[in-house]
Amino acid sequence: MNGNKGLFSIWLAVLGVAIVAGLFTTVKLFAQGHGLFNANDVLLWTLPLGVYIFLALSSSGLTLLSGLPLVFGVQKYEVFAKRLVFLAIATLCGAFVAIGLELGSVFHMIYIVFSPNLSSPIWWMGAIYSLELVVLIVKFWRMHRGDWHSGFSKNLGTASFILALVAPLMIGSVFGITESRVTYFGPVMSIYCLVMAFLSGTALFNLYSLVVNRVMGNGVAAELYEEFAVIFAYAAGVVVVFTLLKYAIESATVVPEFLVYREFEHAFGTVGVFHSEVLLGLFLPFVLLLIPSVRKTAFGKILTSALILLGTLFMHMEILLAGQSHPVGPKAEQYPGFISYFPSIWEILVFVFALAIVLLLYTLGERYLKLAEAPE
Amino acid sequence: MPRYAMIIDLQRCVGCGACSIACRNENNVPEGIYWSNKITETSGTFPNVRYHYIPTLCNHCEYAPCVRGCPTRAMHKLDNGITMHDPKKCIGCKYCEFNCPYGVIYFNWGKPHKFWQDTRAAIRGGTASPEEVVREVGGKAVPYYNPEREATLPGIRPTGVVEKCTFCDHRVKKGELPYCVEACPADARIFGDISDPNSDVRRLLGKFRPFRLREQLGTGPHIFYIRGYNPAAYQPTKGGV
Amino acid sequence: MKAEKRTFWKDVLDDLKMSRRSFMKRASAATGGAIALGGAFTPSFRTLAEASEVSGKGVGSWIASTCQGCTSWCSKQIYVVNGRAVKVRGNPSSKVNVGAGCPRSHLALQQVYDPDRIKTPMKRTNPGKGRNEDPKFVPISWDEALDTIADKIMELRNNNETHKYMLMRGRYSYMRDILYDRMTKIIGSPNNISHSSICAEAEKFGPYYTEGYWNYRQYDVMNARYVLIWGADPLAANRQVSYYSAVWGDVIGRAKIAVVEPRLSATAAKADEWLPIEPGHDGALAAAVAHTILVEGLWYKEFVGDFSDGQNRFVPGAEVDPETFEEKHTNGVVRWWNLALRDKTVEWAAERTGLPAEQIRRVALEYGNAAPHAISWVGGGPVMQVRGGYTSMICHALNGLVGACDNVGGSLVSNKEYTTEFPEPDEFMDEIAKVGKKHEKIDQRGRKEFPCINEGKPGSAVITNNAADGILNDDPYDIKVAIAYMNNFTFSCGQPERWERALSKIPFLVHITTNASEFSWFSDILLPDVHHMFEKWGYVKSIGNGYRHVTLMQPAIKPMWESKIDETEIPWLIAEKLKERGFDNLLRHYKIYIDPETGKEPNNAQEFALYSLKYATQNLWDPAKYKGGDKFNGWEDLLKAGVWNSDPYPFRKRWSNMKTKTKKFEFYSETLKEALEKHAEKHNTTVDDILETCFYQARGELAFVPHYEEPFTNGDQSEYPFLFVDHKSRLNREGRSANCPWYYDFKDVDPGDAAWDDVAKINPVDAESMGIRTGDPIRLTSPTGSITCTAKLWEGVRPGTVAKCYGQGHWVYGRLASKDFGKVPRGGNNNDLIPAVYDRLSGSTVRHAATRVKIERV
């Protein structure tokens, strides 16, 4: 116990350092502007936005998962419900940190309220995630107070589920409705984001539960985790099919933008026609999940979840960067034909900051908020 | 209300870039940001080579993707057709820049006009520092600062927001032509009201088959190009097999 | 802070109101939903509110002045707001530049406010002089600076060696003679050395020895049917860039344009024909064009005349009897044919020029068929070469052949203007001065090996770049005191390293300059100069569009720091100091430059600057002295307009009334013959010997007709495989804009060039054979120097050549111009590659087809 306490203090200290570094980054960004990022007028959106997408979608995925007990009434999963909702809140907070530090003038956000543009997917995205955060917090509050089944509480669950369904579609449409950037696959991008959200949310939950199980040793019936592993495998399967479809289209089309896209050196390298992050972060864990002897071990579960979680982050980054790596129009006069990218220390610190916030909230929640609670 | 549009006559254009430099000057645009720009191309192989030049600027699209995507309506259309930006509402999400099919929107990544903030002198006591020049001369951030830009937009846009060509709305409002039009030594830019059947713009659009950039996207650009940059004559030929 | 907050919330409130309104509007326009989705169509109320606040045409005023960023010398207007220069535009009152501007004129704003301009006079505190010696300049007062200068001049006068005083001139206005001529003469020195020959004297050589006109031409492009351009790039550089840019869209619609140049220039990009010639062989192409025109009978008979029986005897190879041809306004067309053209077939030219024979034939025929509206436009490229004088003649002679000379749609000279010379200095030159002035000039002009025959007078043209050798070798003597203004020979002359050594050798050197330049680095005293366009009183003359204008410069803003006017205020102040030391001749001379309006004599430097300008331009603004052109009601009237325009061009008035020996357009140049013979006689030798000494190939009669000479190029082809092609930038302000941020941000307006870089353009075929890619850092090395820059693969360069724009490679001048001020250049200076060689007939410094280079990756 003492040893645990010591580890816990160290853990908090690490998070504290990360958060202090994050606050310093925040001040620095406000003082000097986003030139601190390795971004430019061609490659506009970089790691902080990738982290935002990753965390926001994961949060939606967690909320979707929470829908199994909370919306569809699968009672055996109620034991996960409170934790899922809390994780969704915490992860979304991290997402907000990332996007907050990505925006150039975050204080002008007030105009999201005062000067809304209903034709803007960014507006909808912002509005929905803000609402989602509120709904999730209220829902969590109700659950924490023991109110699981009142009409209000149920409606909150349904609302959060619907919002979590729509939010990834909006993130997808931010890219998808940009007619001039066809490599984002138009409306298909929305569906892609939705399935990716479910996948990364599931991966995150699996990984988290197993780690917490190890650390805290609380006893949830093992078969429930087995079922989750199967859900996880299905989710991965959907994304695998989707990804193969994308590859098929990409390699068959002769639309000029795709031809250029095909030629450029991919951020994380390729093996044959496949991107490394897809091979290692999707196909490999998917294959492992298909092998029962791997899937059934704790190590196998942790490995596959970790791989997929990292894989989704890298896949989002790859897609984000690839669509912006070539200058548009006259910007080709000013910038090279292909922009390569490696994050600056400040972008990494934004990532670390967001992650630290998420992890701190997890830690505090796990310690104080009785996340394993379920209705009697 | 007029709807403003511009014709660029590529035959008259000499590719000198005076439009872009004058634009920098008029709008106090910092280094690295081009409200007015160009697309160049050298085609062919020696000795059959050609150099092409297409001046570019904000297309002030009828259906502007930047306007549609802007979450706070910081990017908006004026009644006269000008696509305008209000930096006060801009949250710096850069989505307009991401959305623009023409690469004409830029983000202020840092403090503008850094060159002029340097406090070091090349020869101590004998030459000035850029910062000292600005102080001595007045102006704002740059010694040749144009205060008239302030009429409709901050004279220099702050860090963290985007900026782009406004068709010199502050000049148009006073009955003056956009400065790139005035500064074009070749009279290659013709500006006017496209809703007026008697305007020069309409007259020329009726005379030539104009083209617009990436027309297939359906954005409805208000920059029209007529004629060719290098209309060279050649000996008539049917080619051969 | 509080106020800021209030406006913030006020904005929010305003916007709230606005969005409520706009929602209502949307609701009421339910059917317009599609439009609503297409974008927020409601205008910002704030914008509209502000609209009513802005009234009138602006807060500043436009003040007329003149731009000398290139030698177009356009009349300009400067927008001044609260004493600050904010914008620059073409002066609509000028008929020469017709209100048009250009890209480089805007950069002037970054020149006048250049932080690296020197603020005060400075003196050197490190006595050691050299490229690697930091002068350790410290600020001093004007008084101390002028005292020191006056002491040094008095020392020369007291020792009877005033000829060891030297004045070097760079960019000038027509106030120049006050400092350049009068002051030098009254002090007593022959050594006023201008920069003219590093610019384009060879370009004037051809027109002078054919039609008796030593100056730049103007071209009636709007009436031309064919424009054949030789190494000129009027859309980018020199001269009347503004005017030609304004009309070029019409010109290409009316005329065929052919551009002869090894690199795809800005003008070539908009031409019908690009003739990427092997550098140095332009004379061969011109010979073939002339040959073809004669053989095909396309010469303009009303100007040249015809065979008396109408039968064309110009048959390839055949000698023609001059008696059979009746010439009208020309001299010696048959002798020209016999001496230089009869065997110069298209095929012969194709072999030398690297151009296809059919292209040469096509150009020749179409050019001839367009007579007389067929311009042959001679630029610096083909003529600023070792044997360029003759190329200048043969290219320009085509204008005679097709009758374009002085004709509608042709090649024109200057219109008349009526400014007055400053008072003569003679009566203020004392004995010391008269003796001093008789010495030979330091640039050695007029020696056997330097004929330098400006306007038929041997030894009359400056040979700027050779002055360095004169100084270095104490030949004819040593220079002890030198003043230089707005020049930078250590950068702008070929083989500038010689200038570094020469200047280091001068015991006392004063530099009047805006920026601490490569020249300043070797100086003892620096004086801060005004910027010509914003801070100076002066005037220049220029031609174009069939007009000549005289355009004024005036101080539109208060001069920056302690700068003073180079050509007027500074000589006056020196004159005052000389008077204090007992030598008042110069000040007495300057005192006679009286204000024509008030009759007052100048009492201080500022008055002198203004009065001398009013004095020189009186005939233009004083109605009582009106002689022609624009009419004004007095000085203020002219000053407000800023420019005087001449009468329109009088076409064909010079036919058979030219300033040549025969008064005709000379294909056989009696004028050149006389000049050469005069020079030979002076040196007791033959014309052939002179030509041999000066590296020309012609012997005998050939020397007196326009003809082709093979290029004379430095460097062995096996060691230095590439011919170096130098060219100018649209943004160069005579090599002085390298410290302007806009220069770099827009450098790619020069076809093939790159922003924020200094590139050598190489044909991909050549580059690939060396494994060089775009962006590779490379070193170019010639027999006389080497530079580093960046490789750029470009199809617009002739294989076997490497083209690079002049302008970068400064190692001082400013924080942007140099990479490390005083130490490391940014990019490379072309002149480091170019040897100090000359077209000795005109005195021109060579910069084209001058050298071969090798390319290495670094």
pLDDT digits (tens, 9 = 90+) for C840-853: 999 999 999 999 99
pLDDT, tens digit, 9 for 90 and up, residues C705-736: 999 999 999 999 999 999 999 999 999 999 89
Q: Terminus-to-terminus CA distance in chain A, angstroms?
A: 30
The last residue of a domain, from among C623, C645, C667: C645
Residue C156 sits in a domain whose CATH number is 3.40.50.740
In the complex, which subunits touch B with 3 or more CB pairs below 8 angstroms? A, C
Give the pLDDT band of residue C12 (cuts 50, 70, 90).
low
C-alpha B214/C-alpha B219 separation (Å) is 8
B138 interaction partners in chain C (CB closer than 8 Å) = 82-84
Return left, alpha or beta for C60; rule: phi > 0 is left, psi -120 to 50 is alpha, else beta.
Answer: beta
Q: Where are the alpha helices (DSSP H) in C345-438?
A: 346-353, 357-369, 380-383, 388-401, 431-437
Give the pair of three-digit tokens for residue C379: 């630029």
The pLDDT value given to residue C34 = 37
CB A90 within 8 Å of CB A358? yes
CA nearest C748 in A: which residue?
A: A333
pLDDT per residue of chain A (376 residues) written in tens, 0 to 9: 455 778 889 999 999 999 999 999 999 999 999 999 999 999 999 999 999 999 999 999 999 999 999 999 898 889 899 999 999 999 999 999 999 999 999 999 999 999 999 999 999 999 999 999 999 999 999 999 999 989 999 999 999 999 999 999 999 999 999 988 988 988 899 999 999 999 999 999 999 988 888 777 766 667 778 888 899 999 999 999 999 998 898 888 888 888 877 777 677 888 877 889 999 999 999 999 999 888 888 889 999 999 999 999 999 999 999 899 999 999 999 999 889 999 999 999 999 999 999 999 999 998 899 888 888 6
Q: What is the residue-averaged pLDDT of chain C?
A: 93
B162 interaction partners in chain A (CB closer than 8 Å) = 104
Residues for chain B: how many in total?
Answer: 241
Same domain, C130 and C146: yes
Same domain, C435 and C337: no
In the complex, which subunits touch C with 3 or more CB pairs below 8 angstroms? A, B
A178/B65 touch (CB, cutoff 8 Å), yes or no: yes
**Which has the higher per-residue pLDDT, C793 or C43?**
C793
Residue C324 sits in a domain whose CATH number is 3.40.228.10
Give the pair of three-digit tokens for residue C416: 């008349």
User: Which of A212, A264, A90, A88 lies closest to A161 in space, CA to CA?
Assistant: A88
Q: Pick from A114, A118, A333: which is nearest to C15 by CB?
A: A114
The pLDDT value given to residue A218 = 62
B187/C246 touch (CB, cutoff 8 Å), yes or no: yes
C-alpha C216/C-alpha C542 separation (Å) is 9
C-alpha C370/C-alpha C236 separation (Å) is 26
Q: Tell me which of C26, C61, C513, C815 to substitute to probe the interface with B (most B C-beta atoms closer than 10 Å).
A: C815
The pLDDT value given to residue C26 = 40
CA angle A105, A108, A109 (to 5 degrees): 105
CB C584 within 8 Å of CB C256? no
C-alpha C849/C-alpha C847 separation (Å) is 7
User: Which of C785, C781, C762 lies closest to C773 in space, CA to CA?
Assistant: C762
Same domain, C153 and C301: no
DSSP-derived secondary structure letter, C178: I
Q: Which residues contact C714 (CB under 8 A, 6 or more apart)?
A: C782, C783, C784, C835, C837, C850, C851, C852
Lowest model confidence (mean pLDDT) among B227-231, C42-46, C518-522, C686-690: C42-46
Q: Pick from C39, C40, C748: which is nearest to A333 by CB?
A: C748
Nearest-Å Rg of the Cα atoms of chain A is 21
In Å, how far from its chain's centre is CA C83?
A: 30
The pLDDT value given to residue B39 = 97
Letter for the amino acid at A343?
Answer: P
Nearest chain A CA: its distance from B4 CA (Å): 22
Q: Is the pLDDT of residue C543 over 50?
A: yes
Residue C791 placed within a domain: yes
Sign of the Cα torsion C783, C787, C788, C790 reads negative
C79 vs A211, C62, C89, C648, C772, CA distance in Å?
Answer: 71, 4, 8, 30, 47
B106/A41 touch (CB, cutoff 8 Å), yes or no: yes
Q: Is the pLDDT of residue C810 over 90?
A: yes
C-alpha C498/C-alpha C477 separation (Å) is 17
User: Which of C204, C246, C316 lies closest to C94 in space, CA to CA?
Assistant: C246
pLDDT, tens digit, 9 for 90 and up, residues B72-92: 999 999 999 999 999 999 999
Q: Percent of chain C having pLDDT more than 90? A: 91
Q: What is the residue-averaged pLDDT of chain B?
A: 96
Q: Is C842 exposed, middle or buried (0-12, 13-18, 19+ CB in 10 A)?
A: buried
B40/C116 touch (CB, cutoff 8 Å), yes or no: no
Alpha-carbon torsion angle A284, A286, A289, A290, nearest 10: -100
pLDDT, tens digit, 9 for 90 and up, residues C380-405: 999 999 999 999 999 999 999 999 99
The last residue of a domain, from among C604, C620, C645: C645
Residue C547 placed within a domain: yes
B183/C106 touch (CB, cutoff 8 Å), yes or no: yes
Q: What's the mean pLDDT in C173-187?
A: 97
B53 interaction partners in chain C (CB closer than 8 Å) = 269
Same domain, C351 and C444: no
CB C464 within 8 Å of CB C845? yes
Give the pair of three-digit tokens for residue B199: 């305007």
DSSP-derived secondary structure letter, C122: E
Q: Tell me which of B93, B104, B225 to substitute to probe the interface with A (most A C-beta atoms closer than 10 Å).
A: B93
C-alpha A196/C-alpha A320 separation (Å) is 14
Domain count, chain C: 3
C-alpha A330/C-alpha B223 separation (Å) is 15
Q: Where are the alpha helices (DSSP H) in chain B?
A: 18-27, 65-69, 95-99, 130-137, 169-172, 179-183, 200-207
User: Which helix (H) or strand (E) is C785 found in, with range?
Assistant: strand C785-793
A19 vs A48, A94, A353, A363, C646, CA distance in Å?
Answer: 15, 12, 5, 14, 76
Letter for the amino acid at C694?
Answer: C
Residue C782 sits in a domain whose CATH number is 2.40.40.20
The pLDDT value given to residue C7 = 56
Give the class (CATH, top level) of A11-362.
mainly alpha
C-alpha C412/C-alpha C547 separation (Å) is 10
C-alpha C282/C-alpha C321 separation (Å) is 28
User: Which of C277, C351, C370 lies closest to B233 in space, CA to CA?
Assistant: C370
Q: Where are the alpha helices (DSSP H) in C724-779?
A: 741-745, 764-770
In this structure, the number of other CB atoms found within 10 A of the CB of residue A107 comes to 11
Give the pLDDT band of residue C9 (cuts 50, 70, 90).
low
Note down the domain range covering C593: 122-199+418-645
CB B87 within 8 Å of CB B112? no
C-alpha A350/C-alpha A346 separation (Å) is 6
**Which has the higher per-residue pLDDT, C220 or C52?**
C220
Angle between helices C201-211 and C388-401 (to 10 degrees): 50
Angle between helices A222-252 and A298-322 (to 10 degrees): 30
Q: Pick from B33, B71, B74: which is nearest to A126 by CB?
A: B71
The last residue of a domain, from among C586, C618, C645: C645
Q: Which residues contact A71 (CB under 8 A, 6 or more apart)?
A: A157, A158, A161
Residue C41 placed within a domain: no
Residue with tokens 């910062």: B131
In Å, how far from its chain's centre is CA A274?
A: 22
Would you say domain B4-112+148-226 falls under CATH 1.10.3720.10?
no
Sign of the Cα torsion C663, C666, C672, C674 reads negative
β-bridge mates for residue B7, sequence order: B190, B224
Q: Tell me which of A111, A175, A346 to substitute to probe the interface with B (most B C-beta atoms closer than 10 Å).
A: A111
Residue C250 placed within a domain: yes
Q: Is the pLDDT of residue C31 over 60?
A: no
Letter for the amino acid at C790?
Answer: T
Same domain, C579 and C436: yes
User: Which of C194, C321, C329 lies closest to C845 in space, CA to CA?
Assistant: C194
Q: Which residues contact C265 (CB under 8 A, 6 or more apart)?
A: C233, C235, C236, C259, C727, C751
Q: Which residues contact C473 (CB under 8 A, 6 or more apart)?
A: none
